[in-house]
Chain A
Amino acid sequence: MIEWAVNILAVGGAFFVFVAGLGVLRMPDIYLRIHAATKASSLGIGLLLIALILMDPTAPVIVKSVLMIFFVFLTAPVAAHMIGRAAYLHHTQGWAGTKKDELKDKYAADHTKLDS
């Protein structure tokens, strides 16, 4: 029973990491690529760590795995935000279907300070 759960969670985690790779390759611009890469890959890592907890439910493994799940869910958005901010400050254009850019004209001329 536990083995089934471990296998299903492992396949699910690997599948979501694969979806992240697919999104990074196939999405049309940098912002959508960040969106695909960050969320799908942190979910995949989380599923793999839950599979690890189910496989070996001893105290050190549980503590480290839960800590790593929190760490990944905390740091992946921070890294994605910083890369997206760097891309936006370089005036990287979105793809042709972009509907909304709420930060447009909000940055000062030297485009390092936000004057909202």
Chain B
Amino acid sequence: MIWGPVAFLVFGLLGGAFLLALLRLLRGPTLSDRAIALDLLGVVMVALIGANMLLSEETLYLDVFVVFAIVVFFGTIALARYIEKRIQDDD
């Protein structure tokens, strides 16, 4: 239902957020920076699914949205646990 120019704006902003998070993922000095950048990449992808549903007026992808958000959350949790457990190996 969103109009053409608005769709350009919405997808441009989301793509810009994706690129900025990707830059931080490549640059990030510590592993935690990369973890938060990956988390944001997943959130941007979830937002892209939502924006696509708004553009195509097709709410079938809401289930994909739900599952993807849960997968992103558990991925971030697992990565954070891994970073925390790495302390014992450091020293």
Interface on A for B, CB 8 Å cutoff? 3, 6-7, 10-11, 13-15, 17-18, 20-22, 24-25, 30, 33-34, 37, 41-42, 44-45, 48-49, 51-52, 55-56, 58, 60-61, 64-65, 67-68, 71-72, 75-76, 78-80, 82-87, 89-90, 92, 111-112
Residues from chain B with a CB closer than 8 A to the CB of A58 are 59
Contact of A24 among B24, B73, B80 (CB under 8 A): B24
Question: Given the interface contacts A10-B51, A45-B43, does A34 sit within 8 Å of B36 by beta carbon?
Answer: yes
Count contacts between A and B, CB distance < 8 Å.
174
Interface size (B, Cβ < 8 Å)? 52
Residues from chain A with a CB closer than 8 A to the CB of B73 are 75, 78-79
Bound CA–CA A19/B88 (angstroms) = 36
Residues from chain A with a CB closer than 8 A to the CB of B77 are 78-79, 82
Report A58 CB to chain B, min CB distance, Å. Answer: 8
Q: Can you list 17 pairs linking A and B with CB atoms under 8 Å apart?
A: A7-B6, A13-B47, A14-B10, A20-B43, A21-B16, A21-B18, A21-B44, A25-B21, A37-B37, A56-B57, A60-B59, A68-B62, A79-B77, A80-B36, A82-B80, A86-B81, A90-B83
Bound CA–CA A67/B47 (angstroms) = 16
Q: Closest A-chain residue to B58, C-beta based?
A: A56
